[in-house]
Amino acid sequence: MAVKQFAYSEDQNNLNQKNTQFVYPLFLIFLIPVLIILNTFWELQQFQKINATELQNKTILAKTIFASTIADSLNEEDVLQEKIEKITKSDNELQEITILKPIADGFQVLASSNTASLGAAYKSLQYSSAWAEDKDITILTPKEKGQEQNWIIISPLENSNSEKVALLSLKISTADANALTEKTITNSLVALAVTIFFVLLLLFNYSHFFEYAVLFKKLKEVDAMKDDFISMVSHELKTPMAAIKGYMAMIFEGVAGKVDQKAKVHLEKVLANIKRLDALVDALLDVSRLEQGRMQFDMQSVDICEVLTAVTSEIDVQAKEKKLKLEYQPLPTPCPFIFADPERLDQVFENIIGNAIKYTFKGSISVYHRIEEDQLKTIIQDTGIGMSKQDMKDLFKRFYRIRNEKTADIPGTGLGLWITKEIVLKMNGQIYAESKEGIGSIFTIVFPIVKENKK
Ligand code: ADP
């Protein structure tokens, strides 16, 4: 009872520990919308930057185009004024064009689309430095309430003789670009809200997936507990069964007094049943070892003919009891080697040949080999009850037994073929079966041939 309690609390601990693994997918699920949000804002920022640069470039391009048109008309102020007004009207973004000429202490407006400023004189650091350093100056006016934001470019103008003669000041509105940015922001936020809504909807709808995941984990835990339980019970059964077998042997030998014939018959039945129980416990132990990956394999080069000679001569007693002929045709020496655990190989062949004897009522069991390329096939063929195609579908599954009139009185666990298949696969072999109901069955076990000294 105490042991059971201990095992439970340990499992519970395990379960709690493993459930923390759900934090990770949950974290991912919440991370996705957060990443979408961050990505949207980052993209918007990038868009705004690109937009600003584009507008700045546009301002510089406008300056380059106008400079040549305007510079040659500098001496005719009326023509210049007319040209400026025409250009300003043709472009919505172009807010103002002003031409200034240098005067003694500053710059005077020569022509401007803002006619109110005509003739006005300005002292400005930007004008002076554009003139003195002979370079373009671009300024983004600050955002103020009720006022449009503008890009201003101030650039010196040269006449056809490449003489610096005036300053050009262009004012380009950012209103259209800002409107486009705002529209993009609104669209992105709507798309973001819709995405998050669907993510949440999906989360809500599929929340039971988490329940299934927890359930699946619990099932695995329970399955592991079951394996542990089978393994523990099987081990515990081994000791009393060994004692029973020992005492039975002593009784048979007459240690406890003479056993009369009638009692012997009953005792033999007891012994046969103990052997069955022993085989069942062994099978259960193998199942739990294989399932938990605890079965040990001492792999080495094995002379398969030697193994089969030993197995067939040992098992021949059973065949003889049923008046069946068990024939083994070893390959001519030297017999090819395979890489396997000899004891496990023994177990595999005992099982398949044992089945052939068990499910055959008259006739024979033949064991022989075929070599195909670098593969060694061992064939176990019987003239037994056979199996239908339908019955063979689950042949290598755990606890599978074919139940019909012919098999009704044959004892078995349905574990032999599963264990055999698992062992063969673990030793890099293959196993398959062919059968015809009422005619017999053929089991083929295939292993790659190896050089004798493979380690
Ligand atoms: P069991 O303990 O029942 O023999 P196995 O896993 O060894 O378990 O075999 C599974 C089932 O396959 C058996 O119940 C039997 O119906 C069928 N079977 C196995 N070998 C043969 C055979 N050589 N001939 C006919 N049926 C067989």
CATH of residue 162's domain is 3.30.450.20
Q: Are residues 198 and 342 in the same domain?
A: no
87-96, 245-254, 342-351: which range is least confident on average?
87-96
Res. 3: pLDDT tops 60: no
Ligand 1 lined by 396 (C-beta under 6 Å): no
Using one digit for the tens of pLDDT, what is the confidence trace for 172-231?
Answer: 887 777 787 788 888 888 888 888 888 788 777 777 777 888 899 899 999 888 888 888
Q: Are residues 134 and 226 in the same domain?
A: no
Q: 326: which 2 tokens?
A: 């068990």
Residue 1 in domain: no
Ligand 1 midpoint to CA 84 (Å)? 103
Q: Are residues 278 and 307 in the same domain?
A: no
Nearest CA-CA partner of 315 in 279, 275, 356, 280: 356
Ligand 1 midpoint to CA 145 (Å)? 91
Ligand 1 lined by 434 (C-beta under 6 Å): no
Q: Are residues 108 and 37 in the same domain?
A: yes
Mutate to test the pocket of ligand 1, among 359, 361, 419 (most ligand atoms within 8 A of CB): 359
Ligand 1 midpoint to CA 372 (Å)? 27
Residue 279 in domain: yes
* Boundary of a domain, candidates 248, 268, 290: 290
* Boundary of a domain, candidates 236, 255, 290: 290
Ligand 1 lined by 400 (C-beta under 6 Å): yes
* Boundary of a domain, candidates 142, 173, 204: 173
Ligand 1 lined by 354 (C-beta under 6 Å): no
Res. 256: pLDDT tops 50: yes
**Percent over 70 (pLDDT), the chain:** 91
* pLDDT greater at residue 29 or residue 370: 370
Q: Which residues of 51-66 are buried (b: 16+ CB within 10 A; e: fewer)?
A: bbeebbebbbebbeeb
Residue 44 in domain: yes
Ligand 1 lined by 416 (C-beta under 6 Å): yes
Q: Are residues 215 and 354 in the same domain?
A: no
Res. 334: pLDDT tops 90: no
pLDDT of 10 reads 37
Ligand 1 lined by 380 (C-beta under 6 Å): no
How many domains are there within the chain? 3
Ligand 1 midpoint to CA 402 (Å)? 7
Q: For residue 368, list its beta bridge partners.
A: 329, 379
Q: Are residues 109 and 249 in the same domain?
A: no
Ligand 1 midpoint to CA 427 (Å)? 22
Ligand 1 midpoint to CA 414 (Å)? 7
Ligand 1 lined by 414 (C-beta under 6 Å): yes
* pLDDT greater at residue 87 or residue 9: 87
Q: Which atom of ligand 1 is nearest to the CA of 356?
A: 23
Mutate to test the pocket of ligand 1, among 349, 355, 395, 398 (most ligand atoms within 8 A of CB): 355
* pLDDT greater at residue 440 or residue 42: 440
Highest averaged pLDDT of the listed ranges 238-252, 393-407, 419-433: 419-433
Q: Where residue 13 falls among pLDDT bands split at 50, 70, 90?
A: very low
Q: Are residues 73 and 123 in the same domain?
A: yes
Q: Are residues 19 and 157 in the same domain?
A: yes
Which residues 6+ apart lie within 8 Å of 240 measured at CB?
none
Please give the distance of CA 158 from its chain centroid, rounded to a whole number. Answer: 69
Residue 336 in domain: yes
Res. 455: pLDDT tops 70: no
Does the predicted TM-score (pTM) go above 0.85?
Answer: no
Supply the CATH number for residue 396's domain.
3.30.565.10
Ligand 1 midpoint to CA 2 (Å)? 40
Ligand 1 lined by 402 (C-beta under 6 Å): yes
* Location of structure tokens 């006619």: 115
Ligand 1 lined by 102 (C-beta under 6 Å): no
Residue 454 in domain: no
Q: Where residue 25 falls among pLDDT bands split at 50, 70, 90?
A: low
Q: Where residue 354 falls among pLDDT bands split at 50, 70, 90?
A: very high
**Percent over 90 (pLDDT), the chain:** 38
Ligand 1 lined by 417 (C-beta under 6 Å): yes
Ligand 1 lined by 385 (C-beta under 6 Å): yes
Q: Are residues 151 and 190 in the same domain?
A: no
pLDDT of 360 reads 97
Using one digit for the tens of pLDDT, what is the confidence trace for 403-453?
Answer: 998 998 898 889 999 999 999 999 999 999 999 999 999 999 999 999 876
Residue 8 in domain: no
Supply the CATH number for residue 270's domain.
1.10.287.130
Q: Which atom of ligand 1 is nearest to the CA of 443?
A: 23
Ligand 1 midpoint to CA 42 (Å)? 67
Res. 7: pLDDT tops 50: no
Structural domain including 116 reads 13-173
Ligand 1 midpoint to CA 358 (Å)? 8
Ligand 1 lined by 382 (C-beta under 6 Å): yes
Q: Where residue 454 falls among pLDDT bands split at 50, 70, 90?
A: low
| Alpha carbon distance 394, 418 (integer Å) | 10
Q: Are residues 36 and 137 in the same domain?
A: yes
Please give the distance of CA 283 from its chain centroid, rounded to a whole number. Answer: 35
Q: Are residues 338 and 390 in the same domain?
A: yes
Ligand 1 midpoint to CA 396 (Å)? 9
Q: Are 445 and 375 in contact (CB under 8 A)?
A: no
Q: Which atom of ligand 1 is nearest to the CA of 400?
A: 10
First to last CA, the chain: 47
29-33, 220-224, 247-251, 255-259: which range is least confident on average?
29-33
Residue 6 in domain: no
Q: Are residues 343 and 243 in the same domain?
A: no
Nearest protein Cα to ligand 1, atom 11: 401
Residue 107 in domain: yes
